[in-house]
Structure formats: structure tokens, C-alpha cells
Chain A
Amino acid sequence: MSASDATFPKLLRGLATKNPDQTALQEKRYGIWQPMSWSTYAARVQDFAHGLAALGVERGQIVAVLGDNRPEWLIAELAAQSIGAAVVGIYPTSIGEELLHILTLAQVKVVVAEDQEQVDKLLKLRAEAAAAAVDPSAATSAPFADMPPLLVDTVVFYDPHGLEQYTDECLRDFTAVEALGREWGATHPGWLDEQVARGTSSDIAVICTTSGTTSRPKLAELSHDNLLAMADHLTAIDPIDSNDRYVSFLPFAWIGEQMLAVACGLSRGLTLSFPEDSATQKSDMREIGPDVMFSPPRIWEGMLSEVQVRIDEAGWLKRKVFGWGYDVGDKAAGRRVKGQGAGALGALHWLADQVALRPVRDQLGLARNQHAYTGGAPLGPDVFRFFHAIGVNLKQIYGQTEICGIAVVHRDDDIAFNTVGTPIAGTEIQIADNGEILLRSASVFKGYHRNPAATAEAVDPEGWLHTGDAGYLDDNGHLVVIDRQKDVLTTADGTRFSSAFIENKLKFSPYVEEAVTFAADNGMTAIITIDPMTTGSWAEHERLSYTTYTDLAAKAEVQDLVAEEIHRANEDLPESIRVQRFVLLHKQFDPDDDEITRTRKVRRNVIQDRYGLIIDALNRGDERIGITTTVTYQDGTKVDRTIDLRIFDLTTYRVPEGRGRRPVWSGRR
């Protein structure tokens, strides 16, 4: 097989022949890691592919998968690709209009859904669509009015619990489809081999939804070639082999998970592990100790918050030892990322690693980690530095769905905390006159599904992908990404800067979950949401009682705590972009309200629209702002509630004497 016509199904068959008994996938169930060998994996893909054919799926169609990460997700994906169909992953938290939009745009007929929860959503959509078809006037309130018809005729589920009494004839059990496939395959010998052989590397393999800043995502078509070219270039920098382990817990609908688990996984034979439950993710990850990991910033920020809280709660000896170890690790990391050896620090660093740093890595499940990546959104330089200090080889990836998730990455010996690194092989980079980053490589996607106008906007005739991000190349050839072009702000005195830069400074505090900053007439203002876990445990220590998130955020003590944190962040910021005033929002941002994307990126325009009143009040410098929110209870009743939010002014704020909290480590508070 030449490299040029490689497809995922062909790679899978190759691996099944080469290492038939080696573990391909393992899932923790009933407390035990249940392995699946490459040969079983390939056999199940074959059965399901036959099953899909029996259900009427044809070459060129799209199969949707809606669910959490399980082996069945990948079996469905590979099966669809085996018969020349593509797969579109849908975030399991998607609801209503968003779900309908993807299903109708991709003209999906067969959906593979995980469990009762997902099946219920699909049955509801089908019922609504049927009602709208009978009586179009009923469709005015529903989102059906401006959408093409829903074509879903089969829903395959793989977790049968709770579905015992469902009788809808569109429902099929995953194992029943596999059995159907076995029968169908027996009467069509050689058919699938022919289909797999017909597949070419330019076929569409995966359709990823883009985390658009509107609620209607675009569907980016990625070919086998796109994904495999990216995998080849990435693994040329950081080799991955078939003994490496990867824990798959981020949604397969996200390009990052497709990139490592599927593209790198199948081209290099990674072993994938699926945690038992979202609640056991951490302990399961620690059991596996993945060699490779790719997560968006929120995962890394979450780990840092956890370490900060736990060190803070530890006894004085542990705090001292960790503080010392961290200092040593930080110095050693400073040399390592510049490609220098440990030098005179060598022995000391070894000791610090043994007593302080390795145990922390082990607790986080990073003890065996060789390559860790962050991507999808900018990670604050301080968070970055923390992971290097404790000895995690964390590297920034820059890319977007349209270029298979990766175009630029750090190299082991050349890491700068404020850049995203240098382009991978085969990737050209150019900064347009307006400061926009343009990229060109073999991984640039085929286009948006049924949306040529948007495709033409994204990729110009010469093949350059217009990323929409503003950035520049620094003196070492590293790319520095400022922000989304439309989010680059100018302060009153004309400084150009990125709001994300300030927001990441604020988010370095373990108590701040999200921060959205705005340029005001005389400096910056911010809307802050607190992290209920860390702030909650802080409140417990301070013997503050609280009930809900809203109650916690309204406590004067919590506001003082956040004020102190922001005051500290301000000290690191240039005078003109310091945060002058902030508001603690009464709720967390929620993807169901469109405020953040399913990958937890803040949608600034939605925030700007929805909280316009607050932003204006922040700008004016009011003392308080009353806002009305509509609360919808589960039984459908709606209640309007007025909430009074306090605007905290930092211009005159001083940390009260004697209230400064003790440093956690190395001067960090």
C-alpha cells in the first residue's frame, strides 16, 4: 500500500494483520480494564460496516455519532469510512436546534447514539419533525421553519440500559446491527474488501463541527489525506509508537481528539483507554499514566487549581518541601526549554524531582507523560510555566479545525511560554498585511459541507487558509498569536493588545473560572465567574455558609477574595490595561445558553449582547447594577427574577493590612 492512498480502514486492517493480539482499545468496565485486540476491533468494524450497508448507508453519505467516548464510537466511525461514508461527531451535550442543524445539514439518515439520554433527544426531534410535516403552522415556534427536512430513519444505540421498554421501530441495538451485518456479510463475500480498496485518501473521512461564534456550527470536511499528513508531520517531531498509551476522554467531535486518538492512533498504533465514567476520569487516568496527552487549556487550568488548593491545605512541611522543589524545578525548566542541560543544578534537580515534583506528577496522572499538548485556546504563560517547573513537557499547539487542528507547535528544546512555536513540516506561514495569520499545508480542509460561500471566505484560490487570528513572528521565528482578529482591542491611549492576555492573567487565580474583559474609557473592566469547586472549598475553610452558586458569588467575602486576586494580577499588567472594575456574575457561563462553546470557549459577542447593561454600567462606573433574568424551571414555569450585582471598583482598592493570604509556594498566593 503506497502512502498516497492510505485511509483509516486500510491502516486498521494493516494493524490487525501486523499485531493481531496486541491491545488496540481498552475500556474500564465493572472495575476492570477490558481489552480489545486489533483483530477483534477490525472484525467488529467489518460487522458494523456490513450492518450499515444492510441499513442502506451508501458511499458518500454521512453517519452521525452522538455520545461519550466508547469503543463503539470508533467502531462506528471506521465502519462508515470502510464503506466510503463519512462520520460527523456531535457533542453529547448538544441539544435541540444545534443538533437538528447538524443532522439536517449533513442529511444524516443513520445516527449512532450512546444511551437513553441521546435516544430521547433524537426521538423528540423526530416526533417534532413529523408533527411539523403534517401541520407546517406548528413549525413556526419550533426551529424547523428555516431548516431542511430531517431524514434520520435509524437510531443505533450501544448502551441499552433504560431502553428496555422503548418500542419505536427506528431504534436498533448496536450488537443487533453487528449481527445483521454478519448475516449480510455472509451473502456478500468480498464486497467489503472491494469497498475498502475503492477508498482513496481524498475521500472525506471526518466532518468536524467548528466551534463557531454563532449557535449554528459549520461542518468542516476533512479527508484521510488531511488527517494523515498532519499525523505524519506531528509524529516526525514527537515520535509515537505502538507501545504508547493514550487516555481518550475529550469528545471525539473535537478535532483534537480525532487528531491524536484516530489519526495518530491508527497511523502509529497507539493503545487507547476509555475511562469508566466521567467521575472516575482522574483515577482512571492515573492508573493508565498516558504517554501522550492533548487537552484544551481548561483541563490544565483545572489541574493547576487542584494542585494549588491541595498544597495550600497540606501541612507546613509538605508546603515547604514543595515550595523548594518548585523553585529548583522552575530554574531547571528555564534552562531546559532553551535547549540547555541542567548544568550545576543537575543533582539538586534530581533530588527535587524525587521528593517534590514526581509525586505531584503522579497524582495528576502525568508520571509517564512524554508529550503533553495544549491547544484550542491560548493557555496563560503562568500556567504553562507551572507545568514545566513540575517537569511536564507541555507544548502549545496552534491550529484550527480547518487545518486538522495543528499547524504550529513547540519543539522539545525550544519552548517559549508566550508563543505557540514554529510550523510543522510542510506548513507554510504568512502574515497578511492586516496582521492576519495565513497558513498553507496538505492538511488544509476540503471545505465546509454544503457551504461554498463560507469555504471561499476561509481558503483563497492560492490555498492559503485565512485563520481570522491576529499574530506575528518573533525574532526566533516563533509564531505569537495575539487573539481573534476581531477581538484585538485598543485602549484609550492607543495600545493594541489581546483581551485573552489579560483574561489568562486573571484566570491564573484558582478562584476565577472565566473572565471576559472589555475596554472601557479609562482602562479595563471585567465580568468574572468563579470556580465553584475551589471557591466553595475556600468558603468552607472560612466557615462561610452558602447555598447555590448565585449565593456564593454574592458574598462580600468572596468578592473581596476575587478583588485581591485581580489586584495581584494587575501588578503584572501594563498600566493602561489594568482591570479597573469588575462584576462577579450571578451564574456560570453555560453552553446551553450559547455563552460558551461546547469546547468551553467564551463567545464574546453573545456575552456582549446579553450582558450589555452590565458592561455599560461597568464602563460608567456605577456602584450597582440590577438585572432581570428569566429562570425556567423543569416543569416549564418561568419566573422573572431581579438580581442586584455589585460593581467592585479596584482603582481605590488596597489589600487590607494583615489579610494577605500566606504564600502557597515560591511567593505564589
Chain B
Amino acid sequence: MLGRAYVHSLNSSTVPVGSPILEISDIELRFGGVVALHDVGFTVTQGHIHAVIGPNGAGKSSLLNCVSGLYHPQKGKAVLHTGDGAITHELTKLPPHRIARLGVARSFQNIELFSHLTVLENLMLGRHTHMKHGVLQSLLWFGPARNQELSHRGIVEEVIDLLSLQPFRHKPVGSLAYGIQKRVELGRALVLQPSLLLLDEPMAGMNSEEKEDMARYVLDVHELAGVTVILIEHDMAVVMDISDRVSVLDFGRLIADGTPDEVKANSAVIEAYLGAEEH
């Protein structure tokens, strides 16, 4: 009998709750003469939803790109803890596929899915780092390759269930509504069984109902598996509601880092968001 509880854990990190899982220090990223990030550093704690906010062009996505290996900063480092927290990996020195293998999963602000493949196929692709069979076995398919595919499908189906994607399972992603595509993006990051989940504006461009749904799913994932989440978001109400800690960037600099209440009261943040009066 198939029970109703999920069998697979969506969290592959074994770092104890409350210990640092990601330490970012002194990151400096330049594009020619433009300084995108200037001495940015903060620590993400295992078990937190950590929000990174800031006005347009503040360097939020650039920072995520440094963590996931898309950009290599000129200075500083991002250190990921694995195992019981003692093993460290310097992400800034690793290529993206190695970082993905460490369990760092991300979703993109602009949807980066294969629009002609179905939801199921996109999610199965999200499992590729865990697929071990070679070309020959895949060609033969029957036997090991098939069994492996079945076990991966099990995880994918649990994610489909968690995110209520059942009605869209066999629909090509390109034909789905924007809000659903964003959910598939989240799903593709989740099927990796992440140790750290990076979400780049998962609620951008949504109406308030879709935002609420998405916030619910992020919280569900977090409550169910305790996955540590780094969340970039513009919507202040959402950020303040669901995150445990907030870091604020402005023009590439970290201007505040603390609990949502501390950040709300911070004068530098108010100035960055609302503008300061001319002196």
C-alpha cells in the first residue's frame, strides 16, 4: 500500500539547524568599470528563509549568480558547508555543474524551461545530475536505465503532488499560464533535492492571488523539508511575512542585514526604498 506521506526528502543538507550553511564574504564583482557588487558579505543559516532585497540594479541577481557559479567575482568568496557542517566548498572557484552537484538549486527570474517539453519532461531533466547511467545503458533502456528512471519519476511525482501540478503533467510548458510556469521552475529546482535553494524573484509579474499561492508553496517546501532558501523578491509584504532574515543591497553594497523587524526600522533601508530628502 502506498502511504500518503512523502517518501523522499526534498532536503539533502545534513548541516545542523542553526549552523551557517553559506558564508558570503567580501564579494566584489566588476564588469569593466562598473562595480556590480562591492564588499558584500553575510551568512545564511541552515533552516532559514533568507531574503535578499533591494531596488532595481542593486546587484541581487548578480549575487545569486556568483553563488551558483554563473559569474566569478574578482574578489571574495562564497563558502558552502556540507556534511555535518565541517566540510566546506568554495563555490566561487567551482564551475556551475559542480555547484549543482553539491545540491545548490536555483530558479530563474526569467523562466528558463524547455517550452516544447512537457512539465514532466522538464522536471525529469531537473534530475539529470542524479542520473548515473551511461550512453550504452540508455540506448538499451530496459534494465538498469529503466529502473533508474522509475525511481527518479517517484521523486518527480511527489514534487508534482506538492505543487499541485497534476492537471498539467503532460502539457507542454510553453502552453501554460505564466504563474504555472513559475511553479514548474520552482519544481525543477526542488527535484534536485537541494541542500540550498536559490529563488530569483519567484513571484515577479504575478497577481496577488498567484503571489499568495507561491508564497504558500515556498513555505510548504520549507516546513516540509526544512530546506534553506535564499529568496530574491521585490514585494516587501511577502518578504516581511515569510522570511526569517533579510539582507538589503543598494548600488552593490550591503546596507542592512537582520530580522525583518530590524530591517524595516533601518533608516538606510527607508532611504534606499523611499528616497531621502535633499539636504
A residues engaging B (CB < 8 A)? 29-31, 34, 36, 40, 44, 158-162, 164-165, 174-175, 276-277, 279-280, 283
Cβ-defined partner of A277 (8 Å) among B158, B162, B167, B224 = B167
Taking a contact as CB atoms under 8 Å apart, the answer to whether A161 and B154 are in contact is: no
8 more CB-based (< 8 A) A-B contacts, given A31-B157, A31-B166, A164-B223: A30-B157, A159-B4, A161-B4, A161-B224, A277-B164, A279-B164, A279-B167, A283-B167
Of all chain B residues, the one with the shortest Cβ separation from A174 is B4
Interface hits, B2-46 → A, CB 8 Å: 2-6
Q: Is B220 among interface residues, defined by CB-CB distance under 8 A?
A: yes
* Chain B interface helix/strand/loop/mixed: helix
The answer to whether B166 and A160 touch across the interface, beta carbons within 8 angstroms, is no
Q: Which residues of A contact B154 (CB under 8 A)?
A: 30
B166 contacts which of A159, A174, A277 (Cβ < 8 Å)? A277
Complexed CA–CA distance, A161 and B220 (Å): 9
A-B complex: 8 closest residue pairs judged by Cβ atoms:
A30-B157, A279-B167, A277-B166, A280-B167, A160-B5, A276-B166, A280-B166, A34-B2
Whether A31 and B164, one on each chain, are in contact in the complex, defined by CB atoms closer than 8 angstroms, is no
Contact check, B161 vs A30: say whether CB atoms are below 8 A apart. yes
- Which residue on chain A has the smallest CB distance to residue B162? A161
**Are A29 and B2 within 8 A (Cβ)?**
yes
Q: Are A162 and B166 in contact (CB under 8 A)?
A: no
A279 vs B160: C-alpha distance in the bound complex, in angstroms? 13
Contacts of B157 in A (CB 8 A): 30-31
Evaluate whether A162 and B3 lie within 8 angstroms (CB atoms) in the complex, with A31-B157, A31-B166, A279-B167 already known. Answer: no
Q: Is the CB of A31 within 8 A of B5?
A: no
- Find the B residue at minimum CB distance from A165: B223
B158, B160, B164, B167, most chain A CB atoms within 10 A: B167
A-B contact pairs, 23 of them (CB 8 A): A29-B2, A29-B161, A30-B2, A30-B157, A31-B157, A31-B160, A31-B169, A34-B2, A36-B1, A40-B1, A161-B4, A161-B5, A161-B6, A161-B220, A161-B224, A162-B220, A162-B224, A164-B223, A165-B223, A175-B4, A277-B166, A279-B166, A280-B167
Task: Report B-chain residues with C-beta under 8 Å of the C-beta of A160.
Answer: 4-5
Using Cβ atoms and an 8 Å threshold, which residues of chain A touch B224?
161-162, 164
Minimum CB–CB distance from A166 to chain B (whole Å) comes to: 11
Query: B residues within 8 Å of A by Cβ?
Result: 1-6, 154, 157-158, 160-162, 164, 166-167, 169, 220, 223-224
A29, A30, A158, A165: residue with the most chain B Cβ atoms closer than 10 Å: A30
Complex CA distance for A29 and B160, rounded to whole angstroms: 10
Which chain A residues lie closer than 8 Å to B158 at the CB level? 30
Give chain B residues whose Cβ lies under 8 Å from the Cβ of A44: 1
Measured between alpha carbons, how far is A165 from B162 in the docked complex, in Å? 16
Chain A residue at minimal CB-CB distance from B216: A162
Q: How far is the CA of A174 from the CA of B158 in the complex (A)?
A: 20
CB neighbours (8 Å) of A158 from chain B are 4
| Measured CA separation A164–B6 after assembly (Å) | 11
Closest to A116 in B: B220
Contacts of A159 in B (CB 8 A): 4
The residues of B that contact A165 with a CB separation of less than 8 Å are: 223
Which B residue's beta carbon lies closest to that of A178?
A: B1
Q: B8: shortest Cβ distance to chain A, in Å? A: 11
A162 contact set on B, CB distance < 8 A: 220, 223-224
Whole-angstrom CA separation of A277 from B166 in the bound complex: 7
CA of A390 to CA of B3 in the docked complex: distance in angstroms?
41
Closest to B167 in A: A279
A165 to B226, CA, bound (A): 11
CA distance A158 to B2 in the complex (A): 12
* CA A175 to CA B4, docked complex, whole Å: 9
Q: Please name the residue on chain A nearest to B4 by beta carbon.
A: A159
Chain B proximity of A558: nearest CB distance (Å): 22
- CB pair B164–A175 under 8 Å, yes or no, is no
Chain A contacts for B162, CB-based, 8 A: 161
Cα A29 to Cα B4 with chains together (Å): 9
Residue in chain A with minimal CB distance to B220: A162
Quick one: closest A residue to B161, CB to CB?
A30
Residues of B within 8 A of A30 (CB): 2, 154, 157-158, 160-161
Question: What CA separation (Å) do A30 and B8 show in the bound complex?
Answer: 13
Contacts of B4 in A (CB 8 A): 158-161, 174-175
Residue on B nearest A158 in the bound complex, by CB:
B4
Chain B residues whose C-beta falls within 8 Å of the C-beta of A277 in the assembled complex: 164, 166-167
List chain B residues, Cβ under 8 A from A279.
164, 166-167
A174 to B157, CA, bound (A): 22
Chain B residues whose C-beta falls within 8 Å of the C-beta of A283 in the assembled complex: 167
Question: Nearest Cβ distance between residue A648 and chain B, in whole angstroms?
Answer: 31
Cα A197 to Cα B248 in complex, Å, equals 70
Expressed in whole angstroms, the Cα–Cα distance for A222 and B222 within the complex equals 46
A179 to B5, CA, bound (A): 15
What is the CB-to-nearest-CB distance from B220 to chain A, in angstroms, rounded to a whole number?
A: 6
- Nearest-Cβ distance from residue B216 to partner chain A, whole angstroms: 9
Docked CA distance A40–B2 (Å)? 12
What's the Cα separation between A280 and B1 when bound, in Å?
Answer: 23
Q: Which residue of A lies closest to B219 (CB)?
A: A162
Residues from chain A with a CB closer than 8 A to the CB of B169 are 31
Contact A175 to B161, CB < 8 A, known contacts A31-B169, A164-B224:
no
Q: When chains A and B are docked, how far (Å) is the Cα of A174 from the Cα of B261?
A: 40
Q: Nearest Cβ distance between residue B119 and chain A, in whole angstroms?
A: 11
A311 smallest CB distance to B (angstroms): 22
Q: Which residues of B contact A164 (CB under 8 A)?
A: 223-224
**A-side contacts of B223, CB under 8 Å:** 162, 164-165
